[in-house]
Amino acid sequence: MDSRLQDVVNNLKARYSGVVREFRGEVTVLLEPEHLIPAFTCIKDEFGFDMLEAETAVDYWPQTSPRFHVVYQLYSMEKNIQLRIRVPLDGNAPTLPTIERIFPNANWHEREIWDMFGIRFDGHSDPRRLLMPADWQGHPLRKDYPLGYEEVQFDFNAEEIMVHKPRPEK
């Protein structure tokens, strides 16, 4: 691990009881939801991580504890280092505090996460759907979301698929 990143990771581990995982040179710190805002304030103000590169979520259903992880990818332009933060969440209606006051571009990321995974962000300035219609029921990237897809047509199954397709009226 890069020595500049080691200082940040050690500090997060000591202050916020973060669990550190390293795999092939990439460092991930797991934080509890209650430490999110103070940790992100520290990460930005004290350690110079000035860019939220990405924010997304992962659904581990049928596992329920934790069912979701919200994943933040941060970057320090001054130090040229990256840091990944993961926050585990339990249950079917999880919530987290918004980080848009710390990183304003989190607005769009958090709206997408709400829309696709159903994870709410307390204090968010505009909690509307971003990708799906406003009246849409459910959250399509949850693993328990019903698929309702049409089978892909290939040469070997074309006749079978054509039997089930509606025919245009003449």
The pLDDT tens digits of the residues spanning 77-98 come to: 999 999 999 999 998 889 999 9
How high is the pLDDT of residue 91?
87
The CATH classification of domain 3-164, taken from the options 3.30.310.160, 3.40.50.2020, 1.10.3720.10, 3.30.460.80: 3.30.460.80
pTM: 0.84
Packed helices 3-16 and 36-45: angle between N→C axes, nearest 10 degrees:
150
What's the mean pLDDT when you consider all of the chain? Answer: 91
Name the one residue in this structure whose structure tokens are 């993961």: 86
Token duo for residue 148: 């309702």
Neighbours of 1 (CB within 10 A): 13
Rounded to whole angstroms, how far apart are CA atoms 25 and 1?
6
The pLDDT tens digits of the residues spanning 6-58 come to: 999 999 999 998 899 989 888 999 999 999 999 999 999 999 999 999 999 99
